Structure formats: structure tokens, C-alpha cells
Structure 1
């Protein structure tokens, strides 16, 4: 723990110094009309001249006119991330330096568009982290063509090709931004948006990540499809709901004694909103069915959260929780383990130790949010929903098998995180997590787990 603290201190100081120097180098105040860059870069629209006042040198490459209704836009992102973990893989600390570099070009001609993003992802340190999603030397992150049209009541957008996608609150389908290699899909996708509603349908496959150069080919046996709808019931974000269906076909999986091809379907409902008094709420209800080999799948999930924004301070306090089913009998040829295919793996913390399967968890937290600085403190308490099933870790592997422990209490994960937006382009983050190992987790680690991570992101 002493080495972790010393390394974390020096890395944090170095990161803060770098951010401060960069902040002083950009003296021109940021116009209020200029938005922050989108988490998914193709969602940015630089055709509006009000978004490009010209005071930023990168404005010159955000909109390059080629003719009437035709233009090019260039951009990129570079992230350097350091992680130090003690307590998971034996007596030696795991020290890893990740580098993620993304460049894109966005070409528009009338209603047609082509978007291409290339990525180089590198990992220096622990050999186990050198494979995807930690390292992918150089490949196509996104490449799609798009057609858009509008009527008086709706806007239509069709995309075909490799693309990132996040749905709803990103709880179950996300870009996996916390990992070095972000999640992308090879899809045909149609989105229809109207006043107060949005519907999209998609179908395709999941690329197979390989560590080399231009080798992330579509995996035709790993299929993903779905339909997702969002409707605003009350104005001013007071009440909205999502209703969705997702399907996944995977060629080979294992749950205890059951293995084989998995075809799993998920139906979900998300209700969310906020009151005029600052209370925010969200509730998920989920059901899964299908087959694994010759066994049936029947699983369920409940999740939600409550947050209260305080009127006297820029504070937000709340609690989140999950109840996700596990399997109660490994010999009944039925799979009851809930499985989230593409979840936000840093939903609990920057240390993605526990996967959302066979889980009860409660997560009280407090957030302090100013314009440039965000702070968050929270503690997640993990329990197994079924002690006859495993404790899982990303991307769904067994962390603690039911043969190793039948304890229900897994552990508690305390996390403190800092975010500092130095300029429009530069963001600094740091997080420290301490996992108090419970009886189940201690059978694997033998002790508590410590994690320190710091990452600096430059976006343009």
C-alpha cells in the first residue's frame, strides 16, 4: 500500500501540473455558445457557424467547405491513462500505462455522409493487459455511411457500417470508454426522431478484437440486434420512459455445468425523470429468456437510483442499487444467471472488479459539480444474489466460483474521484478505490484490493 500511495501522489502532482500549464497556455476565454465535444464523436454537428467562432485554432479543421452543402470535418482524441492495482494478481502490483489515440474524418454531401475513425491503442506494463480491450495496435474504430432525411413530423437517419452505440443510460449497452479500446459494432441501424420521442432499430455483428494491424474483422457468429424506443410523457423532463428489446447470439458460452451456443433475448423498461424540487429518479425492470445449448435461459433484473440536488450547494446526493438474478441449481439444465452484454464497466468505479451478474448491490454516493471541477465519493456494497452461483468479473468471467465460497457478502468498494476540465480540449481525471474484501472475495485475493488511476484526455 505504501508503494501505491507514493506512486499515486507523484502521478497526481505531475498530471495536475500538466493541466495547469496547458490552462495558462490557452488565454482566450471559451465562448459560451461553443459546446463540449460529444462522447460519441459522430454526434457532433459543425455545420452551424455559431459553433465555430474562429477563436480556437482547431475551428479551422472542424468545417472545411467543399461546395454547396458539402464539407469535411477533422478531429481526434488522445488519452494517456495510468493504473496501479495491488491485491488482485498475487504479491506484485500491476502497473500499466495505456495510450489511446483516435483520429477521424467526417465528410458530408447533402443528405449523405461518411465517417471514418482510426485508432491506435497501446498498453505498457502487465502482459495480461496487452490483449484487447487493453491493446489494439492500429485498426478501424468506426467506418460507416449515413443517409438522413426529414419530414414535418420526424427525422430519419440510416447508418450502415462500424459504429459506436450507447443506449439509454448506457447501463446495458455502452461505448465502454473506461477500457482502452472502446466498444464498436458492425450494424445496419435506423433512427427515427420526433417531438418528444425516438425509436431506433439495429442489427449486425460484434467485431472480433485482435491485437494487430487492420485485423478486427466482423465476427459473423457473434450477432447483436434490437429495438429501442424513448418517449417523454411529461414536459421539462419530469417523466420519460424507454422500452426496448435486445437480442444476442454467441457461438460458445459456459455457465457452470452448462455450455454451448447462446441465444438470449432481453426485454426492458426504464422509467426516469426529475421533479421541480431537484429529485431525480430512474428504475429499470428487465427479463431475459433464450437457450444455452439444450438448456433454457430465464433471468431477471431490477435496477434504479434516486438523487437529490441540493438548493444551497452544488451537491447531488443519492443511492443506486441493482438486483440481478443468479443460478440456484447447476444441475437442472436451466440458466438463471443474468448477463449484461455491453455494460458500462466503470459504472461502479474506474476499477471494474465486479460484473453485473448474480448481484445485489447498494451504492450511496455524493457528487460535487462545478463548471470545471467534479468530485464524487461513494461506496458500493456487493452481495451474491444466489450463493450457488459465481461472483463475476468483466467481461463475464468467474471471479469467485461457488466451489470456492458460499458466502453471500462479496465486499465493499470505496471510491473517490476527481475530474478537472482545464480547457475546452483538456480534461484530467484521477480516482482511488479501496476494496474491503468480504468472505467471498477474500477466498480469491486473500486481502483487500487497492487501485489508483489517473488519465489525461486531449480532444479536438
Structure 2
């Protein structure tokens, strides 16, 4: 099996080199003051003259004035992603080509705004991926109206409609960019921002994704709400503090032998900052409570990381870790499995094999970045927090049931990744991961897992 995987990998190398060289050949000199595009596109502000250098032909559609304080902005993104996975399911490797295509129009009229983004997502080569979030033929990715106001030194933004949302470090609520179809919410949202602080509240539902055309309707029984606050305690990002409450109501879930409607609440804090010497830190503490069917929920989580930027090289070395509770006893009337509702699924690597529930993990890593090139190498060591609970895989499904193994050690995942910003518009990425299966994981995979992925993104 490893030989077959290596042959498939080597067949890709010439094509990847041609892709990188051809994209570089089409590079044009970057315009002066050329801005970078935001990960969430509605966060871009093209009304600012400094964001309109004028030398790039794509900037001609970023600011189209119609009248005083009235303008349109157009943009899009196209991503082609190839994934090859061997060892996870079945004797044959899974080979899939994913295409994501997004187009948006952003209309501004004074304090009012309307933003619409349409998406077409395709998965070729793997029937298991031919459904959301792998495939969604054509649908509304985002569509909202917005109102902005200012009172003294406080800025207010109200937004209603379908929108992407990333909170804090995106550890628990993210855009799910690694998957083909990104995560969006149907929300009413209000934020207030002052000098060194921000507070926002939201409430709404989670869309039910379908594979067809214009069929992603709001799921009124799947509700999501919360309040998130950030305060800069010390200047120059030395110490900041988040406090948040998130709530989720889902019509039907299953944890082992427990099944039914889930109403779960999460309260958390996050402390983070960076010193002048290049030392960075982050820490989370979380508690979850609620009900599943007739059982009580009581779960907890701790997460954090430490990094140091080296003064003699463009290197950043660090370690991350999680401790997230699992269920210790079936049938005791209590569910202790921590559940992260909308996490960044590529937090560990581009291969989202392990979901952040019922685990201990430690993740040493090193990052190198210089000009347009970035490299990262790391290894994650996974353990079950409770051997009486499952090992989970995205989006929270059981990967290793408790009955399959009583081992605590799940496995180790080694990852090597490359990022290359070819031009302002073109980004190339590649990653290789190898999962050394521990006793718990070997019970379902039978051995190690290999993953190779490469994706090229064109943004304008």
C-alpha cells in the first residue's frame, strides 16, 4: 500500500511544478500599497483610497462609484484542491479533486450595505465526498444587509442574514475553510467596538446544506446564539482577554447510548498576548452544561499554546495542547463528552482525522516564513481523555467506538506543509501528513494513514 501511495504522489510532482512555474510566469509587478484580501471577504473596505492603488486591473472592480457615498465592489475566489488519502477506509486510496468557486457583490449606500456571495462547489473522484461539505452545486454562501452607526467613540454594526463568522482564535467557531464548502450561519448580529474593546451578540440558525441548486434552507430546529467580548488589557497586544457564552440547540444527537434533543451551553475565557521579545501565549478554559434527552451535560475543556520568535532566524517554535473531557460511565445520567460545534478542522493539519472531543493532545511545531514562502513542521500526539468514550472524527462522528479498544493512546500525526504566495492573487499550498496509528486507531484503520494535499487559490 505505501508503494502505491508513493507512486501516486510522484505522478503529481511534475504537474505541481508546472502549475507553480506557469503561475509565476504570469506574475505582474505588484501595485504600490497593494492590499491583501481578507479571509472573510466582507471584512475588506475598498472605500479607503489607500486600498485602491489602481495599478492592478482587478482593482478596477473593487470600487465602482455610483454617487456620493454609494458604490459597488465585486470580487471572487476560485480554489482547486487535490487530496490523496490511503489507509483510512478500504484497501484502495481515496483520490478526490475539489473545486470551490465564489463570486460576490458588495453594495454600499452611506451607512447601509448589502452583501451577496454565491458559491459552486464540486467533488470529482470520490463518491463519499459528493455531498456537503464536499459538494454543493450552486447556492447562496452569504447574503445579508448591514447598518453602521457611531456614537461618540463607539462604533456599531448590525447585520442580518446569511454570513460567515469567526470568533476569537477560530478554535471553536470558524469558517471551516479547509473543507470545500465553508461554514455560514443565518443570524441577526450586533457588535459594538470602542478603544481597546469589542462586544458582539448574535442569534439565529444553522443552514441545512444540500447538494442541489439553491436548496440550502435555514434549519429552524438547529439554533445557535451567543455573546463574545474582547478587551485589550495592556497596550501593544501584550495582554488581551476574551470572555464568551455560546449556546446550541440541536434536534437529535447521539453520544454512545444517549440519544435525543441537545441543548448545550458553553462559557469560556481566553487570555492571549505577545511580548516585545517575540514570546506569544494563548490559553482557553471552558465549561459546558445542558441536557441531551433526559441526561445532564457537564463537560470541560482546557487549551493553549506557547510560541517564541527567534531573533537570529525567521523561525517561530512552539507547542500547543488540549485537554477536552470525555464520558466516563454510560448509563449514569450524565454526558461528559466535550463537543466543539464549529471548530477550525485544520487546526491539527490539512487532514482532519481527529475531532476535538474526548482527548489529550500535545503538538510541538516549528514555522519558517520569509517573504512569500512559509513552511511548517509539527507532530500531534493524541490520547483519549476517557477510555470509556469514543475517538471522534469531524464533524463529531464516532471514529473508534469504546467497544473497539480500551487503549488510551490514539496515535501521532506528523505533518509538513508549504505555502507560497505566487502573486497577490495566487496562493499555492501543499501538505503531507502521516498518521502513526496507535492501539486505539489501529482497531479501525488496521494501520497507518497517509495524506497528501495540494491546493491553488486565485482571489480577486
TM-score when scaled to structure 2?
0.99
Q: Within 2, Cα distance between the matches of 1:78 and 1:363?
A: 31
* Aligned 8 A contact 1:84 1:93 in 2: yes
* Aligned 8 A contact 1:172 1:341 in 2: yes
Paired position in structure 2 for 1:148:
148
Paired position in structure 1 for 2:29:
28
* Aligned 8 A contact 1:20 1:422 in 2: no
Paired position in structure 2 for 1:291:
291
Paired position in structure 1 for 2:205:
205
Paired position in structure 2 for 1:15:
16
Paired position in structure 1 for 2:48:
48
SS in 2 for 1:403: helix
Paired position in structure 2 for 1:326:
326
Q: Within 2, Cα distance between the matches of 1:80 and 1:374?
A: 20
Deviation at 1:152, TM superposition (A): 2.1
Asked if 1:177 corresponds to 2:196, the answer is no
Residues 457 and 444 (structure 1), Cα distance of their counterparts in 2 relative to 1, 3 Å cut: same
- In structure 1, runs of 5+ residues without a counterpart are none
Alignment deviations for residues 98-144 of structure 1 (CA, whole Å, 9 cap, x no partner): 00000000000010000000000000011111110000000000000
Alignment deviations for residues 194-224 of structure 1 (CA, whole Å, 9 cap, x no partner): 1100000000000000000000000000000
* Aligned 8 A contact 1:4 1:452 in 2: no
Equivalenced residues, count: 459
Residues 293 and 237 (structure 1), Cα distance of their counterparts in 2 relative to 1, 3 Å cut: same
* Aligned 8 A contact 1:19 1:426 in 2: no
Alignment deviations for residues 235-264 of structure 1 (CA, whole Å, 9 cap, x no partner): 011000110000000000000111100000
Paired position in structure 1 for 2:123:
123
Out of 150-159 and 338-347, give the one that drifted further: 150-159
Paired position in structure 2 for 1:337:
337
SS in 1 for 2:85: strand
Q: Within 1, Cα distance between the matches of 2:30 and 2:251?
A: 53
Q: Within 1, Cα distance between the matches of 2:39 and 2:186?
A: 19
SS in 2 for 1:14: helix
CA RMSD between the two structures: 0.8
1:27-426 mapped onto 2 (5 Å cutoff): 27-31=28-32, 33-426=33-426
SS in 2 for 1:29: coil
* Aligned 8 A contact 1:241 1:269 in 2: yes
* Aligned 8 A contact 1:11 1:454 in 2: no
Out of 1-10 and 244-253, give the one that drifted further: 1-10
* Aligned 8 A contact 2:196 2:232 in 1: yes
SS in 1 for 2:88: coil
Deviation at 1:405, TM superposition (A): 0.3
Q: Within 1, Cα distance between the matches of 2:311 and 2:25?
A: 33
Deviation at 1:50, TM superposition (A): 2.1
Q: Within 1, Cα distance between the matches of 2:350 and 2:13?
A: 16
SS in 2 for 1:102: strand
Structure 1 stretches of at least 4 aligned residues deviating more than 6 Å after TM superposition: none
Deviation at 1:277, TM superposition (A): 1.1
Q: Within 2, Cα distance between the matches of 1:55 and 1:27?
A: 10
TM-score when scaled to structure 1?
0.99
